[in-house]
């Protein structure tokens, strides 16, 4: 099954088994390994990406349903050699420790900054993203810091 | 992987495919099926990918009643104005899972998955939803409250797919209540859940009521006997007490990995009291 999709602005043609997970196509076929696998069953959020403007868990998207879609992963956030303001904030505030949850955490936070009306607060926005290291406090502080940058700009 | 996919581009071709191979497994948002697939509990099969069927597109049409196309997601409802008329739908959508689940999971998929712990189905059932089904041989509608026959047993023939969900527009005066009890607020599976609606007259007599429960029976349970006990009666503290006892005869909770029968019985009674007290003697 031939499938075209766009990842971080680049067009690809792939021929995977139709139920292969978008997560595995990203990592194995297209070498976008920033997206991580955690639980593989839709609980932890490590594999979060944005597909056609909505937040998705790439472990739950069969590649046949990603045909023609535009996918943004953690690698698609930095631009012109500059970190995204969320990446910069996570760096400065200690929002990342082991790093497995970080790409999904930052993608979900980036979605929240773009769609602040879809969640009541950072807690709800990141409710689908689990972290076993930080206790969340520094993640929330990172998002707040990036968010205040956003309001100044 | 021994999984194939058919992606039809019209409802007619989808129904033709189902008529010739009733083992096809309809696939919408995939948020349940991908879990089974990854866990290795699905036998090799061919999926019928519904995502390209324009006839099932996520319209939310309000026209005396609400029609949700079968591909309508939780996010679609949260972002739409229909939540002004059907607030429980937005509350349920918010608790079904985190945002990344809400943007993929569908209401019709929640019905078809048939889990007794479904979060969307109780809200739909409390709004008297009907399920529209289509096959090559025709179309029919089934009240959602009559759709389930047992654990994961439902009134859907293998050659049918759900095309839409319809609900009458609620009359003014109803009060809605939705409370899910899980281990945490978001992204948890319920231990018990009550989706309730009640219509009281000026004297606090119960004109009509709906009480739908999750995770306390083999399927989503509308508690018709307890509703019948309440209907036409003056809503007093005594009546609320009677309802908390009556519900015990209607539910069939079990011990499982998420909770115990004893806990579910106690908390379900508390939900009944919370629902009726919030809308009754103290308002």
Q: Is the same domain home to A62 and A92? A: no
pLDDT given at position B26: 97
DSSP state of A73: -
By CB atoms closer than 10 A (0-12, 13-18, 19+), residue B129 is buried
Q: Which residue among B39, B99, B187 sits closest to A118, beta carbon to beta carbon?
A: B99
Q: How far is residue A92 CA from its own chain's centroid?
A: 19
**Beta-sheet strands, E only, within B100-247:** 130-135, 138-143, 148-150, 153-154, 161-168, 174-181, 192-200, 206-214, 221-222
Phi, psi of A100 (to 5 degrees): -65, -40
Task: Determine which of A2, A3, A16, A18 to mutate to test the interface with B (most B C-beta atoms within 10 Å).
Answer: A18
Pick from B110, B86, B166, B106: which is nearest to B133 by CA? B166
Determine the Cα–Cα distance for residues B121 and A26; give it in Å rounded to an integer.
34
Q: How far is CA B19 from CA B4, B71, B83, B232, in A?
A: 17, 21, 36, 47
Structure tokens at B57: 């597109």
Q: How far is residue A89 CA from its own chain's centroid?
A: 16
Q: Is the same domain home to A120 and A141? A: yes
Sheet holding B192-200, edge to edge: B174-181, B192-200, B206-214, B221-222
Distance between B143 CA and the closest CA of chain A, angstroms:
30
Pick from A32, A34, A40: which is nearest to A60 by CA? A40
Last residue of a domain, one of A76, A104, A129: A76
Q: Cβ B51–A119 below 8 Å, yes or no?
A: no
Q: Cβ B78–A111 below 8 Å, yes or no?
A: no
8 Å CB contact between A60 and B97? no
Q: Cβ B1–A17 below 8 Å, yes or no?
A: yes
- Total number of domains constituting chain A: 2
Chain A residues in contact with B104 by the CB 8 A cut-off are: 54, 56-57, 60-61
Q: Is the same domain home to A90 and A130? A: yes
Q: Mean pLDDT, to the nearest integer, of A5-30?
A: 98
Q: Which of residues 57-96 of B touch A (CB under 8 A)?
A: 75, 78-79
Q: Is the same domain home to A69 and A11? A: yes
Whether chain B has a CB inside 8 Å of the CB on A116: the answer is: no
Q: Which residue among A41, A65, A119 sits closest to B30, beta carbon to beta carbon?
A: A65
Chain B residues in contact with A111 by the CB 8 A cut-off are: 99
Q: Is the same domain home to A121 and A147? A: yes
- Taking CA–CA distances from B4, the nearest residue in chain A reads A18
Q: Is the same domain home to A23 and A57? A: yes
Chain B residues in contact with A125 by the CB 8 A cut-off are: 99
User: In this predicted model, what pLDDT tens digit does every residue of A109-151 receive, in sequence order?
Assistant: 999 999 999 999 999 999 999 999 999 999 999 999 998 744 5
CATH code at A103? 1.10.150.120
Instruction: Provide the mean pLDDT of chain A.
Output: 95
pLDDT given at position B62: 86
Last residue of a domain, one of A76, A110, A135: A76
- Taking CA–CA distances from A104, the nearest residue in chain B reads B100
CATH code at A36? 3.10.20.30
Q: Cβ B5–A19 below 8 Å, yes or no?
A: yes
Q: Is the same domain home to A72 and A89? A: no
pLDDT given at position B223: 98
Distance between A23 CA and the closest CA of chain B, angstroms:
12
Pick from A104, A101, A94: which is nearest to A139 by CA? A94
Q: Is the same domain home to A56 and A10? A: yes
Domain that holds residue A39: 3-76
pLDDT given at position A24: 98
Other Cβ atoms less than 10 A from the Cβ of A100: the count is 18
Q: Is the same domain home to A103 and A135? A: yes
pLDDT above 70 covers a percentage of chain B that reads 98
What 3-state DSSP class applies to A88? Answer: helix
pLDDT given at position B282: 44
Pick from A43, A37, A32, A40: which is nearest to A8 by CA? A32
Low-confidence ranges of chain B (pLDDT < 50): 281-283
pLDDT given at position B132: 98
Angle between helices B237-250 and B261-279 (to 10 degrees): 150
pLDDT given at position B1: 63
pLDDT given at position A151: 54
Other Cβ atoms less than 10 A from the Cβ of A41: the count is 15
Pick from B8, B152, B28: which is nearest to B101 by CA? B28
pLDDT given at position B214: 98
8 Å CB contact between B243 and B272? yes
Place of tokens 């539910």: B251
pLDDT given at position B187: 81
Determine the Cα–Cα distance for residues A40 and A60; give it in Å rounded to an integer.
8
ipTM over 0.90: yes
**Beta-sheet strands, E only, within chain B:** 3-6, 25-27, 45-49, 60-62, 65-69, 130-135, 138-143, 148-150, 153-154, 161-168, 174-181, 192-200, 206-214, 221-222
User: In this predicted model, what pLDDT tens digit does every residue of A50-93 receive, in sequence order?
Assistant: 999 999 999 999 999 999 999 999 999 999 999 999 999 999 99
Last residue of a domain, one of A47, A76, A105: A76
Determine the Cα–Cα distance for residues B177 and B196; give it in Å rounded to an integer.
5
Chain B residues in contact with A124 by the CB 8 A cut-off are: 186
Q: Is the same domain home to A72 and A102? A: no
pLDDT given at position B2: 86
CB pairs A-B closer than 8 Å: 87
Q: Is the same domain home to A9 and A72? A: yes
Distance between A33 CA and the closest CA of chain B, angstroms:
20
Q: Cβ B1–A65 below 8 Å, yes or no?
A: no
pLDDT given at position B212: 98
Pick from B174, B113, B167: which is nearest to B144 by CA? B167
pLDDT(A152) > 60: no
- Taking CA–CA distances from A60, the nearest residue in chain B reads B34
Q: Is the same domain home to A40 and A61? A: yes
8 Å CB contact between B276 and B229? no
8 Å CB contact between B101 and B170? no
Q: Which domains does chain B have, with CATH numbers?
A: 3-168 (3.30.465.10), 174-279 (3.30.390.50)
């Amino acid at each position: 099954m031939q499938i075209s999709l766009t990842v971080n602005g680049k067009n690809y043609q792939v021929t995977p088994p139709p139920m292969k997970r978008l997560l595995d196509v990203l990592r194995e076929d297209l070498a976008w390994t920033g997206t991580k696998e955690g639980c593989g069953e839709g609980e932890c959020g490590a594999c979060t990406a944005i597909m056609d403007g909505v937040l998705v868990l790439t472990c739950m998207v069969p590649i046949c349903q990603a045909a023609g879609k535009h996918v943004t992963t953690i690698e698609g956030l930095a631009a012109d050699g500059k970190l995204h303001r969320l990446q910069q904030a996570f760096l400065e505030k200690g929002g990342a420790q082991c790093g497995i949850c970080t790409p999904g955490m930052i993608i979900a936070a980036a979605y929240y900054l773009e769609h602040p009306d879809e969640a009541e607060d950072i807690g709800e926005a990141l409710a689908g993203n689990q972290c076993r290291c930080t206790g969340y406090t520094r993640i929330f502080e990172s998002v707040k810091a990036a968010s205040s940058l956003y309001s100044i700009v | 992987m021994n999984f194939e996919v058919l992606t039809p581009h019209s409802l007619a071709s989808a129904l033709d495919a189902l008529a010739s191979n009733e083992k096809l497994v309809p696939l919408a948002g995939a948020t349940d099926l991908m879990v089974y697939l990854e866990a290795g509990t699905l036998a090799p099969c061919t999926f019928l990918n519904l995502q390209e069927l324009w006839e099932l597109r996520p319209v939310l049409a309000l026209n005396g009643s609400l029609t949700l196309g079968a591909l309508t997601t939780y996010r679609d409802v949260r972002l739409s104005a229909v939540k002004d008329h059907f607030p429980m739908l937005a509350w349920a959508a918010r608790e079904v899972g985190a945002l990344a689940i809400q943007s993929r999971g569908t209401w019709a998929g929640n019905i078809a998955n048939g889990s007794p712990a479904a979060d969307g189905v109780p809200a739909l059932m409390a709004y008297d939803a009907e399920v529209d089904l289509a096959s090559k041989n025709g179309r029919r509608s089934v009240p959602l409250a009559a759709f389930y026959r047992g654990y994961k047993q439902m009134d859907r023939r293998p050659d049918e797919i759900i095309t839409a969900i319809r609900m009458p527009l609620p009359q003014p005066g109803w009060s809605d209540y939705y409370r899910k009890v899980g281990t945490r607020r978001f992204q948890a599976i319920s231990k018990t859940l009550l989706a309730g609606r009640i219509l009281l007259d000026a004297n606090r007599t119960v004109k009509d009521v709906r009480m739908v429960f999750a995770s306390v029976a083999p399927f989503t349970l509308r508690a018709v006997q307890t509703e019948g006990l309440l209907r036409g009666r003056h809503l007093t503290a005594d009546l609320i007490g009677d309802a908390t006892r009556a519900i015990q005869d209607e539910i069939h909770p079990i011990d499982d990995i998420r909770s115990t029968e004893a806990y579910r019985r106690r908390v379900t009674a508390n939900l009944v009291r919370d629902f009726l007290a919030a809308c009754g003697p103290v308002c």
